[in-house]
Amino acid sequence: MSHTVLVTGGAGYIGSHVAVELIEAGYEVVVADNMSNCDMTCFEGVKKVTGRSDIPFYKIDCCDAESVARIFKEYRIDALIHFAAFKAVGESVAEPLKYFRNNLDSFMTVLGAAAGNGGCNVLFSSSATVYGEADSLPVTENSPRKPATSPYGATKQMCEDILEHTVKAGIGIKGTALRYFNPVGAHPSALLGELPRGVPNNLIPYVTQTAIGKRECLSIFGDDYPTPDGTCLRDYIDVTDLAKAHVAAVGRMIGGKMKRDYEIFNIGTGTPVSVLEIVRTFEQANGVKLNYRMAPRRPGDVTAIWADPSLANRELGWKAERRLSDTLESAWAWERHLAGKDD
């Protein structure tokens, strides 16, 4: 009998890719999303890619305990993957209470519903942001968490703690936190991908929107960092690879293979890539020229961060596989699809 996974925030960027990979791995998926930061594009993409028009979808807010409880009554949920959260760093600095209220409440509400139903395996989407400016690189799961520099980052740390303490309470919850590095790219079908609202904050959507002519020029934030080419280093993880890590982690939880009831894994490639390397690889992979200029550093950016993913490689049997050039091709194909120019 196949297992059922509830994916909150399953119509969003990462959630929709995870839904695809879960279904392709044989899971039944239930999606819950309040659609506050996306439209149905990606969810429709999930249905097309998987050929499944019958995926249960609940337009609910995960802070609404009654609505969440109803899903747990209707389905035997074997695992819950929680993505439903606000994610704009800058906005979180301007509106901290909105972020704390929503991101903490929605997670505690779904955890409460899971516990109320006799327990569940819970996967929380955490972030490398919990490491801040790391003392040594690459970061392992044992690298210290640093004080958060934004309310968004603080909610990631707090939700990790909430999950850990809930697991410790022995009320039937087992937990995994996946710390993502920089998720990028789109599904190879170009039917789902990142859909930023307004001017993108993240690098890759800014790159693709500049290439297609929606933005005039990419600003590279800082070329005087102590790195080989002066621009920041990050660990860019393909969103499909990232989604597969979730399938592996869910399988480990459901299959009773966890070594501890609460586990943390870094999900990255282990390879640092500079902003300039992203620009050059994007240009080469897609045969386009990108209009860019050097600009001042962006406040809050760390110089460099990349993962030591060896724990996930070993324990989850998962490894990042896609080449950066393929990932950047997929990002470009998605942008062209959105613009109606796909070949």
**Residue 292 binds ligand UDP, judged by CB under 6 A:** no
**Residue 303 binds ligand UDP, judged by CB under 6 A:** no
Q: How far is the CB of 300 from ligand UDP (least distance, A)?
A: 8
**Residue 293 binds ligand UDP, judged by CB under 6 A:** no
Pick 31 or 276: Cβ nearer ligand UDP: 276
Pick 75 or 292: Cβ nearer ligand UDP: 292
Known catalytic residue: 152? Answer: yes
**Residue 301 binds ligand UDP, judged by CB under 6 A:** yes
Among 195, 275, 312, 328, binds ligand UDP (CB under 6 A): 275
User: Which residue among 58, 131, 152, 236 is the active-site one?
Assistant: 152
Interface with ligand UDP: number of residues (CB under 6 A): 14
Among 24, 52, 189, 221, binds ligand UDP (CB under 6 A): 221
**Residue 203 binds ligand UDP, judged by CB under 6 A:** yes
**Residue 271 binds ligand UDP, judged by CB under 6 A:** no
Q: Which residues contact 54 (CB under 8 A, 6 or more apart)?
A: none
Cα separation, 31 vs 280, in Å, equals 37
**Residue 234 binds ligand UDP, judged by CB under 6 A:** yes
Among 219, 227, 271, 310, binds ligand UDP (CB under 6 A): 219
Pick 117 or 219: Cβ nearer ligand UDP: 219
Pick 117 or 201: Cβ nearer ligand UDP: 201
Among 165, 257, 260, 298, binds ligand UDP (CB under 6 A): 298
Q: Which residues contact 170 (CB under 8 A, 6 or more apart)?
A: none
3 state SS for the chain? CCCEEEEECCCCHHHHHHHHHHHHCCCEEEEECCCCCCCCHHHHHHHHHHCCCCCCEECCCCCCHHHHHHHHHHCCCCEEEECCCCCCHHHHHHCHHHHHHHHHHHHHHHHHHHHHCCCEEEEEEEEHHHHCCCCCCCECCCCCCCCCCCHHHHHHHHHHHHHHHHHHCCCCEEEEEEEECEEECCCCCCCCCCCCCCCCCCHHHHHHHHHHCCCCCEEEECCCCCCCCCCCEECEEEHHHHHHHHHHHHHHHHCCCCCCCEEEEEECCCCCEEHHHHHHHHHHHHCCCCCEEEECCCCCCCCECCECCHHHHHHHCCCCCCCHHHHHHHHHHHHHHHCCCCC
**Residue 206 binds ligand UDP, judged by CB under 6 A:** yes
**Residue 87 binds ligand UDP, judged by CB under 6 A:** no
Among 202, 271, 310, 313, binds ligand UDP (CB under 6 A): 202
User: Measured between alpha carbons, how far apart are the two ends of the chain, in Å?
Assistant: 40
**Residue 232 binds ligand UDP, judged by CB under 6 A:** yes
Q: How far is the CB of 263 from ligand UDP (least distance, A)?
A: 23
Q: Which residue is nearest to ligand UDP (CB)?
A: 232
Q: How far is the CB of 141 from ligand UDP (least distance, A)?
A: 19
Interface residues with ligand UDP (CB under 6 A)?
182, 201-203, 206, 218-221, 232, 234, 275, 298, 301
Residues labelled as active-site residues: 152
